[in-house]
Structure 1
Amino acid sequence: MLVLSEQQTRDALPFAGLIDALAAMFSGDCVMPVRHHHDVSVPGEEDATLLLMPAWLPGAYIGVKLVSVFPGNTRRGLPAIFGSYLLSSGKTGELLAIVDGGELTARRTAAASALAARHLARADAKRLLVVGAGRLSQNLVAAHSAVRPIEEIAIWGRDRAKSEAVAGEARAAGFNARTVTDLEQAAREADIISCCTLSEAPLVRGAWLKPGTHLDLIGAFKPSMRETDDEAVTRATLFVDTREGALSEGGDLVQPIRAGLIGAEAIRADLAELVTGRDPGRRSPDEITLFKSVGAALEDLAGAILAYRNHGA
């Protein structure tokens, strides 16, 4: 049995291969039951979240991810997300590998956003704005740069020191990155806006979006959370990773639906429909596109299988 550390998991999941692995899994026969999502009280601070996400390819692989999200960890200098992934044989049930869940989650999440951007962002998109300075932000820089000719990267976060650290890491990796303090100005200039925060209130306003912008929303994974306002949702053509997940957990869509501003039918396509060509994706250069993801167990399974195979190779 393999046990892959954070670094080994990172090395085994290059974004080009991971994005393709997710595309194949979304177009395949993965079985994905409803995930378990539990609020866990933490005395004196915000509630934590416990996630259990199973999925399997019949006769090939079975996997389950166990993840905890503790927002209060940011004040302790710890990552908000911890987790492990258990990959087993789909023929015998034998445990094959334990993969670092935090790194797997960060990389497959960024890869899913990049997969969507491959279909939804303009082909000439070169300015990327990352809203948020947590663990996922660095992965988003690399993932989006794997599918679009990104030349300029702006990092905005509430904590300037963390934003500077993210930008510095991006520059060390060869990207042209800088921090910004004026979120509105940065959003008005961006071709792709990728939000990865734990915000409870809108950060990016629809009035700021220029024609042709692609908006990538990752962080608001509970109905009570928002990263954009209603105007952004009503101006954009809407896409999701999975309808079931986004309509039950994605606050950026759940809240305007509950308010009667849009209906569930406003979602034009999910990732499976995009990667199989059932939906053409972006239809015009000026179209504003919005992709809302809350995560799907098949993404973890795709990443875990790829990590297992690459490490073994």
Structure 2
Amino acid sequence: MRIISSGDIDTSLTDRDAVEILRQAFRSPVKAPDPINLNISRPQDLTGQFLVQPVWSDFAGQGHTDRGYIGCSLSLALPEQEGGSSNLYILFSGKGGQPIALLDGVRLAAWRDAGLHALAVAYLSREDAQRLLIVGSDPRLPRLLAAYSAVRNITSVLFAGTDKEIRRRIAGMPDLAQITARTTDDIGSALEGADIVCLAGKNAGTNAWADLSRFDPPAGCHIDTLFADPPLPEMIWQDARLFTTHLGSAPRDGCEWTAGLTELAMGERAGRRYYGQRTLYVPGYETGLADFALAAHVFLKS
């Protein structure tokens, strides 16, 4: 069995490749049952969660087992990890059943998340989108911004509440050298010129969400949130055209969800219907299909 490290994953993928791999994955007939989410009872209110997401090639549909894989994402989240998790991805041969690769699940997840959000941006933001506002701080932002830039010509980024070290890492990425980056404390004014808004979580230093009670992006803006429960005004939930990862596991009840990435990739539903429409992408927790597609690609390339 091959051990595939974070460095192996990085050298096997590009941002543009990751987006296209995921686009094809959402068009493919692979089998992805519902994830299994288990609570791990531990003393002193230290209950953990173990998420298991198996996926396999459509062997019955293709009529043979000469090609294809069986994969499973394993994610363990414990309170003492402070919001992080331990992740592994194991890939089996679809023909013989033997384990053929064990991948660094944390790095695979970083590429997966960036690719999923960039794929949503490709379908839902305006093609002429250039100006990006990032509100909050998240360690995935450097990879995410590189993925955004693979699908849109991002030329200007405003950071509000983003950690200084994350901004430094972004400034040092050669692929992002064309971007003009600044910081702001005035989210209201920054929104007026934004083509895309990324809600990246709580502010660095304060560990609290920015005040979004008057969050009102301009017409035509795409809103991309990295979390399933952003504190957006109810008006945004009602006004924007809503999209998520999988319609069957939309993260918020009582909303009119338009499509998941499968419907967009298959051309079954339109993304942006007109230039001035506001769109909102909220991720779901089902990521097994995306993990499977990227893991298989990395195995073949590494």
Structure 1 length-normalised TM: 0.82
Counterparts of 2:95 and 2:208 in 1: how far apart (Å)?
Answer: 43
Would you say 1:297 and 2:297 are equivalent positions? no
2:9 aligned residue = 9
Task: Note closer, same or farther for the CA distance 1:273–1:11 as it changes in structure 2 (3 Å cut).
Answer: same
2:297 aligned residue = 306
- Decide which structure has the larger Cα Rg and report it: 2
Offset of 1:207 from its aligned partner?
4.1
Task: Note closer, same or farther for the CA distance 1:37–1:130 as it changes in structure 2 (3 Å cut).
Answer: farther
2:274 aligned residue = 284
2:81 aligned residue = 73
Counterparts of 2:5 and 2:100 in 1: how far apart (Å)?
Answer: 15
Counterparts of 2:197 and 2:233 in 1: how far apart (Å)?
Answer: 14
| Worse-matched range after superposition: 293-302 or 176-185 | 176-185
Query: Equivalent residues in 2 for 1:151-166 (5 A)?
Result: 151-157=155-161, 163-166=163-166
Runs of 5+ in structure 1 lacking a partner?
Answer: none
1:172 aligned residue = 172
1:124 aligned residue = 128
CA contact 1:19–1:111 (8 Å) conserved in 2? yes
Counterparts of 1:143 and 1:10 in 2: how far apart (Å)?
Answer: 13
Offset of 1:193 from its aligned partner?
1.6
Look up the SS of the partner of 1:277 in the other structure. coil
Query: Equivalent residues in 2 for 1:92-171 (5 A)?
Result: 92-157=96-161, 163-171=163-171
2:18 aligned residue = 18
Counterparts of 1:106 and 1:241 in 2: how far apart (Å)?
Answer: 16
2:55 aligned residue = 55
* Cα RMSD after superposing both structures: 2.5
Counterparts of 2:231 and 2:108 in 1: how far apart (Å)?
Answer: 23
Offset of 1:134 from its aligned partner?
2.4
Offset of 1:39 from its aligned partner?
4.2
Offset of 1:206 from its aligned partner?
6.7
Query: Equivalent residues in 2 for 1:196-211 (5 A)?
Result: 196-197=200-201, 204-205=212-213, 207-211=215-219
Task: Note closer, same or farther for the CA distance 1:207–1:129 as it changes in structure 2 (3 Å cut).
Answer: closer
Question: Which of residues 228, 231, 238 is equivalent to 1:234?
Answer: 238
Runs of 5+ in structure 2 lacking a partner?
Answer: 60-64
Task: Note closer, same or farther for the CA distance 1:70–1:132 as it changes in structure 2 (3 Å cut).
Answer: farther
Higher helix share: 1
Structure 2 length-normalised TM: 0.85
1:142-185 per-position Cα deviation (integer Å, ceiling 9, x unaligned): 1111100101123333xx6xx11111111101433334333443
CA contact 1:67–1:83 (8 Å) conserved in 2? yes
Task: Note closer, same or farther for the CA distance 1:210–1:29 as it changes in structure 2 (3 Å cut).
Answer: same
Offset of 1:82 from its aligned partner?
2.2
Offset of 1:200 from its aligned partner?
9.2
